[in-house]
Every structure is written in C-alpha cells, then in structure tokens.
Chain A
C-alpha cells in the first residue's frame, strides 16, 4: 500500500487519522483475511463511503472492508479489536442521522456483499436474509406466497434489513403492524472480539434477557449484524384509502382521536397541513383539496368484510368531526395517487424552498394542536416558513423548516428553531427521534431527552458488549461533557445523497 489520503479529512468527532505506519500495518493484516477487492484504501475508492443519507456530515474512513463471509467479518473484528481500531458497520448507507458516518481513525465495515435471501419459509412465515438485502426485496420474495414483510420505511427500495434493525426502522404502517423490533425473530451478530452469537430464535420468548430488543435500534454500537430472520405476514385481503379535508387543523386532530376511540386501528393514518398539501399537489397532482387547512389520509386494511364495515364507520366519523370533504379512492390507481402526494411531500417541499430542515420528533397525539400552534408562533418569531407532515397514527411529527443556506445566518437560525421544536416535543412528553435515529445528527439533543444518570447507564450497557468502545464510537449516546448545540437533517437541493428516494 503506497497511497496516502491527501485531502483534508473532516471528522465531526475530531478524531485524528491513523498514522501512516499504523494504517499500513492494519492494511497488511486485513489483506490476509479479505479478498483483494474486499479491502479499499485509495482515496477515490473510499470517497463513496464518506457519508450516509445525512450528507451534511462527511469524513473519509481510514480503510473500507467489504467482507463476503461471516468468517471474514469475525476476522476483521478480531484484528481491529486486537489493534484497538474502531469499526463502523454500514448497510445501504441511506440512514438520515449519520449513524454510518465514518471516522478518520476507523475501519468502515460494509455489509453490502451480504445481499442474499437465504431462505423463505412460506409455511412457517419467516425469511432468513443477509443484512445487505434491501427491505423491499424481502416483500418481493414473499409475495408469490401471499406474504410480506411489514415495516416499510420510505427508503425501502434502497435501505437494507441490517440497517433497518440497527435503526429500528418504522414506516407508515407502524400503528397497526409495529416497528422492526416487532417483526424480527432472530439475529446472528458478531461481537467486537469476533464471536458469532445467535440472538432470539424462531421459538417465542428466548431464555434469558431480551437481547433481540436491546440490539434492535442499537445503531451499530453493540454488535455487527450478519444475519436477520424476519417475520412474514399474510397480505391483507383488501386495503382502502379515505382522504378527508378539514378547514381547521384541530378538527383533523380530533378526528384522528375519534377514529381510534371508535376501536378502529387503521393500517396507515397520515396528516398534512396547508403548506405541505400545496407543495405536494403542485408537484404530483394527487388530487388534494388546495383550500384545506389539513388533510387526513386513512388506510383501512383487513378482510373484505372488515374493511367494508370500517370504511362506512370512518366516513361517518370524519363527517361528524368537521371534514369538509371525504373522498374514497375508487380504485387502486387513485389509492396510489392519494399516497403519492404524501410520499412526495419532502421532495415537494424541496421544490418550493432552496433548503429544508427535517425534524423527527414524536409527541402524544393529543398535544398536536398545542405543538402546531407553538410551531406557528416560532415560525413567525424566526421568520422561517414550516410545512408539517405527520404520521398521525403514531404521533411522529416531521416539521420541515424552509430556509436558504445562501442567506447569511439563516442556517444558524434554522438550527436554533429546529432545536426549539425538539425541546417542545420533549416538553409535551415526546421524543427527539421517532424513526430516524440519533446517530451523529441528534447526539447533542440526547442531552435534552435524557438526564445524566440514564446516559451513564447507556454507556454501561455498551461497555457490557464493547468494553473498549470500538464499535461505532461517538454515536447515539453523548458523553456527559458533550451536551451542546443541536443538529438536524439537512437536505440541500441537489446535494442529498439519495435525492430520488421517497422520504416520509
């Protein structure tokens, strides 16, 4: 190995690159266990790995390892452990919180080559897959058997199952079908010292502690996932979408409560406010009513009889709660169109503003009117417009702050505004991140969410798995002396890492 990385390296955690001698020695040892094409060291080869979906943060890794086998993953971890080198696992790199952001002193361990579906057991409704398999590919493989994999993050055509587990990915159907943690059965993971462990299993309620739950959403801090067994569900017999328009956003909020109170659990329940409706309608012509203050999209799924019964029930409820208009998708085509507007909300907002900044707070649903009112006040105070899209069923709010990074001071004001929204979410009993993860992006906001004792215990949990702190160091849980400014998801037009991916 003769190259050296010549460009300045930006490491948000301030890590110094490895010394050339140390890097060289590491390279030689890794080269003995990895195929030639499975170990990258030239700058142009490292470049594609410098960021994940949060492209505002970039850093070249020291080396990139692309193992083909579990044994190679074990070897890489053993070597790095012995040498005290940090390892950052990466799936498809579509995450929005910088969870797979490299470090200058670390090996980036890409699981991209683990892309095989190992087994689909239709009779017993599970699939055993490698971590690099794309989320949607699992449902596609299960479809001939009338089955599917329920969690459907918006990036599902590109994001990988391993990353989904690391982030506990959600989607629009969480209220009824749960998050990743509810839809996986077993993990095979490699520990920091190279040991292969099986966590969970096909049988219910594994003995000992529920490590399956602990590892789900652990953001690559505890172990490296090398195999995932997911549950498959029967595809619902029928799905129907209702679209309701409201003149007042409070009425839309009350209607959501009324649907739930009536005993209906919709497959999906989404809300958009006026600015988001206009942006989406201009972009994809979904057929949304432009004069509405808010719209609700309510998807009902289940058996044919159940859906018929619930459509009647929900239509009546919506009308009674002040909906000015209720549309039922007449066919699959219109249903797709209703959803298209919602799914395109982020890029649609990207068209009307040079930049936007997406928050990911979750709030108790009843607090929605208060939170939206306060966001409107803050919007006036900061002189920055906001469009709100909301997973109304499960309380996950995505306010998009519109700004122009080219205007001096505007980014700073936006970040401050975003910070105050997240504080507001915590104040009303919610959380700073519902589904995007903490990663590098919200590391400082964790200090608002958790007191020092809880943060200390999180570090203790990590220490039980990774005493030397080599797995994805500096992410997800802040050190106690790191509680400072806020950050959030930045998408600069044209510079997003995956501009074509749907985001909701």
Chain B
C-alpha cells in the first residue's frame, strides 16, 4: 500500500504558510482541461491503491493516485463497472483526477454522472487538514454532502486523497445498433425512446449515422433490438471507447473543441461547424469558427452552457461565466476550504 498522506499534508501546510500556489496532479492526463494553471506540482502518484473493495457491497474505496485502468480491471474481474463510464484521456489517468474533473462518459445520460456515484471522500484542505466526509454506505444524510461538492471542483476546494464510489454490476449483454437518421431525426428518436422502459445505455450521432447502445439482461437486449430496428454493429465496444476518449475521427485536429451541455429536447443550434451529439442531445461537441460570445450566448439562450474543452485561448474563461451572486457565493465557499487560494488557483475561473 502506498500512503503518502503525511507527506502531502506537510507539502500543503508549507504551501499554505508561504502562500505558494499548487498544481495538483494525478496522472497528468487532463492538463488540457480547465484554465491554464500555474503552481508547484503536488503529485498524488505515490498516494495510491485500492483501500477496500467488496463486490457484494457495491462499493470501492481507493486512494486518489490509483490508476483508473487498474480500478476498471479489478471491477471487470468481478463482473462490475463504474457506471458513469469515465473518459481516461491517457494511459495514466487516476481515480482522483477523474473525480476532481467530474467527467462522465457515454452512459451518463442513462446511468448517472460521476457525482451520482460518489459516496465519500477524504480531502486535504488548503490549510492542510485531512477531513473525511460521507462514507462507504449508500444512504447517509449526516452532515452536508461535501463529497459530491468535490466532484468536478477541479481540486480548487481540496486535494482529493481518497474516494469511495458506488459501483454496479456490468450488464450481461450489450450491443450497438446503427441507424441511418439525420441529426435532427436522431434527437427526436432518442427523446421518444428515453420516455419508454428500454435498456438504452448510450446514444451518439457522429454527423453520419446514429448509434444506440443497448445494455442489460440478454433477453431484454434481444427484445429491444427487435423493437428498435437498425443494423447491429460488430465492433461496438471500440466505437464507444473512441467517442469517450475523443479518438473518433470527429475529434482529430487541434482547433478549439467546444462542449455544449443542453437541456434534453433542445433543437439543433444554428452555429456553423461540425457537431457530434451524445447523451440524447444533452452533450454536443462542436468544432466551429464562431466566436466564443456567439457560442456561449447560444448555449445560454437554450438553458445550457458551453465549455472550451480543448485548445483555443486557455488564459480567458473556459467555463461559462457565472451570474454575479453565484460567483460570489462560490468564491466564499472556496475561501472556507482554501483560505489562501493556493489549490489549483485559476484553474476553474480566472479570479478564483
């Protein structure tokens, strides 16, 4: 077991005392994400390993530096999975980085987001305290839900040292159907299906075809396949992995990549460029010559938000700016966890 809790605490205490900004790093696979950050590296690589895993409890606890691939392998050997199907974006991705970024994969719209499966965390605050919140049980309403608050906070509230996650059985059967539908038809179809008890676990329109993944009991998948039609795709696991890891042809190139998160049922937006639609249309990837303002306005007008996911100008805001009262509230919250603003300063928003 690799436990670097004391060393990490010492480093954060020193940084707090000297007001030295820290750049928190797991596998350093998601350095592209968020705003460009400065600071002394605080590596979680030596704080690793699965602390406990009981398949029958559906709970796994691991230190932050544990490679995501190692956790997925362990789960697979026990017929289980991380239901939010997180992207890795590189071989060294860690569970801590995954939760700190709060990113979810193709199953998100049907099984839940990363935050939905967080049960507990141990965090190191900006003033150098190790604190434990939540736990390893499914139902726990004692105290504020600090663990879920950590998910997606990009390390700006605390260094995630350990995380407990709810895991689920992997489906017995899985297959992917390809349908020749236009993006608009695909969104309507996905929406109609989502209102029915069908075992759908992922949807994607890559600009050419519409793909639907079915997961569940063998009989349920077979029945749904008959009902939905289309053509069965053979290399389906690779397809979803390519989409999730952004290795699909759509993602090639170095131009700015936008992620638009939109309410279900939002029509196709009138923004020039190439689109890849996921999550029944709630997550849309865009390569576009349009200005940041136009893209953000379009997202906001439709009740959503836009993130400059990769590339482009990473010194300005990459996440949709918050309304002033929410911005102030969240900054006050950050100050309570990291009073000197040393943890991943500026990674989430310019002024934080």
Shortest Cβ distance from A152 into chain B, in angstroms? 14
C-alpha gap A429/B149 in the complex (Å): 21
Which residues 173-193 of A have a CB within 8 angstroms of B?
Answer: 174-175, 178-179, 181-182, 191
B113 touches A204 (CB 8 A): yes
- Which one of A178, A202, A366 has the highest number of Cβ atoms from chain B below 10 Å of its Cβ? A202
B333 touches A433 (CB 8 A): no
Tell yes or no: A264 within 8 A of B by CB: yes
A303 touches B198 (CB 8 A): yes
- Give the segment of B3-11, B216-224, B250-258 that binds chain A: B216-224
| Cβ contacts under 8 Å, A366 to chain B | 54, 56-57
C-alpha gap A32/B258 in the complex (Å): 50
C-alpha gap A125/B349 in the complex (Å): 32
C-alpha gap A237/B132 in the complex (Å): 41
Closest residue to B348 on the A side, CB-wise? A208
Q: What sequence of 0s and 1s flags, for each residue 39-62 of chain B, a beta carbon within 8 Å of any chain A beta carbon?
A: 000000000000000111111000
| Cβ contacts under 8 Å, B176 to chain A | none
Shortest Cβ distance from B244 into chain A, in angstroms? 15
- Give the segment of B85-93, B269-277, B320-328 that binds chain A: B320-328
C-alpha gap A394/B59 in the complex (Å): 11
Q: Which of B58, B216, B263 contacts A260 (CB 8 A)?
A: B58
| Cβ contacts under 8 Å, A182 to chain B | 112, 116
B261 touches A204 (CB 8 A): yes
- Give the segment of B13-21, B150-158, B228-236 that binds chain A: B150-158
| Cβ contacts under 8 Å, A476 to chain B | 143
A202 touches B263 (CB 8 A): yes
| Cβ contacts under 8 Å, A264 to chain B | 169
Q: Which of B56, B139, B196 contacts A434 (CB 8 A)?
A: B139
Q: What sequence of 0s and 1s flags, for each residue 135-160 of chain B, a beta carbon within 8 Å of any chain A beta carbon?
A: 11111111111101101110001000
C-alpha gap A450/B320 in the complex (Å): 36
Shortest Cβ distance from A164 into chain B, in angstroms? 11
- Which one of B141, B307, B322 has the highest number of Cβ atoms from chain A below 10 Å of its Cβ? B141
C-alpha gap A210/B149 in the complex (Å): 5
| Cβ contacts under 8 Å, B129 to chain A | 453, 457
Tell yes or no: A48 within 8 A of B by CB: no
B139 touches A207 (CB 8 A): no
C-alpha gap A394/B140 in the complex (Å): 10
Tell yes or no: A214 within 8 A of B by CB: yes
| Cβ contacts under 8 Å, A179 to chain B | 139
| Tally of contacts, chain A with chain B, CB under 8 A | 262
C-alpha gap A449/B279 in the complex (Å): 39
A234 touches B195 (CB 8 A): yes
Q: Which of B136, B220, B305, B325 contacts A302 (CB 8 A)?
A: B220
Tell yes or no: B33 within 8 A of A by CB: no
B142 touches A464 (CB 8 A): no
B142 touches A433 (CB 8 A): yes
Which residues 96-154 of B have a CB within 8 angstroms of A?
Answer: 102, 104, 108-109, 112-113, 115-116, 125, 129, 131-133, 135-146, 148-149, 151-153
Closest residue to B114 on the A side, CB-wise? A205
Closest residue to A434 on the B side, CB-wise? B139
Tell yes or no: B168 within 8 A of A by CB: yes
- Give the segment of A82-90, A282-290, A304-312, A323-331 that binds chain B: A304-312
User: Contacts A124-B264, A303-B223 given: A197-B141 contact, CB under 8 Å?
Assistant: no
Shortest Cβ distance from B207 into chain A, in angstroms? 21
C-alpha gap A195/B197 in the complex (Å): 40
A446 touches B138 (CB 8 A): no
A213 touches B149 (CB 8 A): yes
Shortest Cβ distance from A165 into chain B, in angstroms? 12
C-alpha gap A178/B113 in the complex (Å): 12
Shortest Cβ distance from A444 into chain B, in angstroms? 12
Tell yes or no: B237 within 8 A of A by CB: no
User: Contacts A203-B305, A306-B219, A364-B59 given: A438-B149 contact, CB under 8 Å?
Assistant: no
C-alpha gap A5/B247 in the complex (Å): 71
Shortest Cβ distance from B48 into chain A, in angstroms? 21
User: Contacts A125-B264, A365-B56, A454-B131 given: A195-B139 contact, CB under 8 Å?
Assistant: no
C-alpha gap A43/B38 in the complex (Å): 61
C-alpha gap A217/B157 in the complex (Å): 20
Tell yes or no: B74 within 8 A of A by CB: no
| Cβ contacts under 8 Å, B56 to chain A | 256-258, 260-261, 365-366
Tell yes or no: B29 within 8 A of A by CB: no
Which residues 53-93 of B have a CB within 8 angstroms of A?
Answer: 54-59, 79
Q: Which of A197, A209, A477 contacts B149 (CB 8 A)?
A: A209
User: Contacts A211-B330, A213-B115 given: A431-B265 contact, CB under 8 Å?
Assistant: no
A209 touches B145 (CB 8 A): no
B217 touches A205 (CB 8 A): no
B139 touches A302 (CB 8 A): no
| Cβ contacts under 8 Å, A203 to chain B | 261-263, 282, 299, 303-305
A202 touches B143 (CB 8 A): no
B57 touches A365 (CB 8 A): yes
A306 touches B333 (CB 8 A): no
Can you list 28 contacts pairing A with B, beta carbon distance less than 8 Å? A123-B265, A124-B265, A175-B138, A179-B139, A181-B116, A181-B145, A201-B305, A202-B263, A203-B305, A205-B261, A207-B305, A209-B333, A214-B146, A218-B144, A234-B195, A234-B198, A258-B56, A260-B55, A303-B220, A364-B136, A435-B141, A446-B142, A454-B131, A454-B132, A454-B143, A457-B125, A458-B143, A458-B146
Taking beta carbons and an 8 Å cutoff, which residues of B are in contact with A?
54-59, 79, 102, 104, 108-109, 112-113, 115-116, 125, 129, 131-133, 135-146, 148-149, 151-153, 157, 168-170, 172, 191, 194-199, 216-220, 222-224, 261-265, 279, 282-283, 299, 303-305, 307, 319-322, 325-327, 329-330, 332-333, 335-337, 348-349
What 10 A-B pairs come out closest when comparing CB atoms?
A202-B263, A263-B169, A213-B148, A305-B219, A203-B304, A257-B56, A434-B139, A460-B336, A394-B138, A306-B220
Besides A203-B304, A429-B135, A464-B336, 17 other A-B contacts (C-beta < 8 A)? A204-B279, A207-B321, A210-B115, A211-B330, A213-B151, A217-B144, A234-B196, A234-B198, A257-B56, A260-B169, A265-B169, A302-B220, A304-B223, A394-B139, A395-B137, A395-B139, A457-B125
